[in-house]
Chains A and B, each alone.
Chain A
Amino acid sequence: MFQNFYINFRVIFGLALAALVTSCSSQSPEGVKKGRLGGSSLPARGALNSPSDIDKDETPGEPGDLAVPDLSGALRASFKVTVRLDGSGGFLGLANLIHLEACNGPIDIAVNPSPEVLKTGDISKLLVIGASQPINCPAIQSSVDISKLLGGFFAAKPTGEGLPIKRVGDVLALTSLLGVSYEPARPLFPSLLAGKKENLTRLSVSNPTTATLDGKAYQGTFGLEMKEYDTPYQPPGMSFNFPKSMYFSTTASGFDGLDPLKGLIFDQLNFRLSVAPIAITQIEVKGRADKLISVIASVPDEALSGLLKTIAPIVKNTVNSKGIDNQILMGLSKDITATITINLTNQDGLDQVSQEGGRGETFSAGAAVPQATN
């Protein structure tokens, strides 16, 4: 019931990076400059300065005009993935007893937010996951091999039309992904460079949305809220202190019946990131296990072991079954919240970057940075 998060991990990560880099997508090319590099000569280690005054009208993304520096291969980072389970209620209250870290393990990822990738919309090329690194999960009697799991599941075929992202006010929003279209566009990311600091600081949107997949409509609500802005952040276990980071949360509710693999429906998807230097320092995914059952059921047998192998066939038969065994297992999965936390542990080049808060000011138009030319 947990691999679903890994299945979608690359999508989430790719979107995060894409959105982070394309925060400037509505700007004219000269609106984005490689800013003060904080001691580094590499673009990826530096910062993106922002323009001061940007049209806030809804602006569809035009990938052909993306003013994106070529950072391909420049962001090489290591992360620690932690899976945590917390239950509440359940049959006889048994889920109340489930509070544990199921497993954790490292993963290396190279990010390639090159203009070409952004133009083609081939998100799968944004990330290169390191050699197979199974994460041992004794609590669920499984080892999770992210490379294997991702192998057959991430199928974001390049559209040739660029990333389906557009800016709506201070938010970058998805119009479609993995065959699902969103009306209005689904809030994904703050528009970091286009938004004004005072707006981004109190950013909070909640949009009733219709998601359409294969002609069928699903109703729900997407939200995005800025929790922290311009705050220093030191990832657990790292000595590097990111002087100005932000923490925001995207939420999804409803959309019952929508394939979570395609819809990427999570209760919460939280990002903590830094723009100067560019880094995703933490991603946190929270979701109810039972909402993601169809994903488990579609995981190939060879990628499963232990408990998951036991549960998968039960889950597949659950829809039409009223058996107590399924009820209990389903009850437990419904009452268990899985939290996947992906923490940055190392990123190439950080040792050359200043950690002084006054440098690399980049987040918003309101920041004290040189004005971009218009």
Chain B
Amino acid sequence: MFRVKHIFMLGFVLLSVSCGSRLKRASEVSSLFSQAPKSVGDIATDICKSLAARPKAPTTKSMLPQLAGCAGAGLTATDFDKISAFTFNDLPGGKTAADQAEADVFSKSIRTQIWLNKQIPQLLPLLSDLMKQKDQLVVGELKLPESATKDLENLVKPVIKITQAPKFDLDELTFSVKLNIEITGAINVSNDILIDGKVFSNGIAVTISTPKPYPSYEKSFLQSFDVVFLVIPYAKDIYLDMGVNMKIYNIGLTGPLDKAINQVFGTGLKTMVDTLIKVGDKS
């Protein structure tokens, strides 16, 4: 029942065990560093360079440069406590929906930046709760929470399976898990999903990607996607940065999809994070 929540919790906690408020002034963070403090943008750039240079997962070697580069981190970040939904903006440099109206595959790249308004120790109860449920993170189907499926039950039926249980490499400081998602109904989605993460000295990076071969149009509405997710403790807060590039088979709905995707991602991610934080607070 709660395994999906737990796997999200695992990812979230591993992502978020750190600290940060909006654009931080140097004076707010000077005590943290013996030398002149790096900006959160500098830290994000360092992490992303490391990711790009890695020969194995997590790596951004094959991802879009504007997704892998993490440029402008922190510049548009908003406070989590003040928003009702995450704001996903289109990444610069991509083609517009109109440009892709005739293409077989519609490509869309979006990004959000958030100050979580939390510090690492505040997430430890969440970690504790999560680890108590660790036995549920085994190969097999994840039971989706009713709240996630209730509104969609007449339209689609989602099934998520863990195809490789979470692995932790304590030498490399990396972790990974493999999932498969099948959605049938109004739309069909069938994708394998690789989640890989690494804990760096100043932040955590997670990549989420769909391995080749990509599913055909008949099997999946969604051809592929790449996600780069950064968690950076900074100035008594936690900075979250999530960039997504997705490729969707063009069924003539590029215009409406183009507008809807940002909103769907923004609302969905906010709901997920709200849920996790409430779980942590109750622990």
- Tell whether, in the assembled complex, residue A324 and residue B120 are in contact, meaning their CB atoms are under 8 Å apart: no
Interface positions of A from 316 to 331, Cβ below 8 Å from B: 323-325, 328-329
User: B121 CB to closest chain A CB, in angstroms?
Assistant: 5
Bits for A307-321, please: 1 = Cβ < 8 Å to B, else 0.
100110010000000
A99 touching B32 in the complex, CB below 8 Å, given contacts A94-B199, A138-B122: yes
* Interface of A, helix, strand, loop or mixed by DSSP: helix
**Interchain CB contact under 8 A, B199 and A141:** no
Answer yes or no: A140 CB below 8 A from chain B CBs: yes
Contact flags A189-205 to B (C-beta < 8 A → 1, else 0): 00000000000000000
Q: Which residues of A contact B127 (CB under 8 A)?
A: 328-329
With A310-B283, A325-B128 as known contacts, state yes or no: A97 contacts B31, CB within 8 Å: no
Main SS at interface, chain B? mixed
Given contacts A97-B199, A97-B203, A100-B233, contact A314 B122 (CB under 8 A): no
Docked CA distance A92–B200 (Å): 9
**Residue B155 at the A interface, CB < 8 A?**
no
The answer to whether the Cβ of B187 comes within 8 Å of any Cβ in the partner chain is no
Contact A311 B128 (CB under 8 A): yes
Q: How far is the CA of A328 from the CA of B17 in the complex (A)?
A: 12
Residues 344-368 of A at the B interface (beta carbon under 8 Å): none
Interface string of B133-164 (1 = CB under 8 A from A): 01000000000000000000000000000000
- CB-based contact A307/B122 at 8 Å: yes
User: Are A314 and B19 CB-contacts (below 8 A) given A97-B120, A97-B203, A100-B119?
Assistant: no
Q: Tell me the complex Cα distance, A332–B283, Å.
A: 18
Q: Do A85 and B203 touch across chains, with their CB atoms under 8 A apart?
A: no
Whether B170 is near chain A, meaning CB under 8 Å from some CB there, is yes
Are A97's CB and B121's CB within 8 A?
Answer: no
Q: Is the CB of A138 within 8 A of B128?
A: no
Contact residue among B124, B173, B203 (Cβ-Cβ distance under 8 Å from A311): B124
Which chain B residues border A323 with CB–CB below 8 Å? 131-132
Q: Count A-B pairs with CB separation below 8 Å.
A: 88
Q: Is A96 in contact with B199, judged by CB distance below 8 angstroms?
A: yes
At the interface, yes or no: A93 with Cβ under 8 Å from chain B? yes
Contact across chains for A332 and B124 when beta carbons are under 8 A apart: yes
Q: Which of A96, A139, A329 contacts B119 (CB 8 A)?
A: A139
CA A325 – CA B130 in complex, angstroms?
8
Contact A97 B17, CB 8 Å, known A92-B168, A139-B119: yes
Contact A92–B199 (Cβ < 8 Å): yes
Contacts of A94 in B (CB 8 A): 14, 17, 199
Residues on B with beta carbons closer than 8 Å to the beta carbon of A96? 199, 201-202
B18 contacts across to A, CB distance below 8 A? 97-98
Considering the chains assembled together, what is the distance between the CA atoms of A141 and B118 in angstroms? 10
Task: Please measure, in the bound complex, the distance between the C-alpha atom of A102 and the C-alpha atom of B233, giving whole angstroms.
Answer: 13
A347 to chain B, nearest CB (A): 25
Instruction: Let me know if B175 is at the binding interface, CB within 8 A.
Output: yes
Q: Is A101 an interface residue (CB 8 A)?
A: yes
* Complex CA–CA separation, A314 to B174 (angstroms): 26
Given contacts A93-B173, A97-B17, A310-B283, contact A328 B122 (CB under 8 A): no
Interface set of A (CB-CB < 8 Å, partner B)? 85, 91-94, 96-102, 138-141, 307, 310-311, 314, 323-325, 328-329, 332
Sampled A-B contacts (12; CB under 8 Å): A92-B174, A96-B201, A101-B236, A138-B119, A138-B122, A141-B125, A310-B124, A311-B128, A314-B128, A323-B132, A325-B128, A329-B127
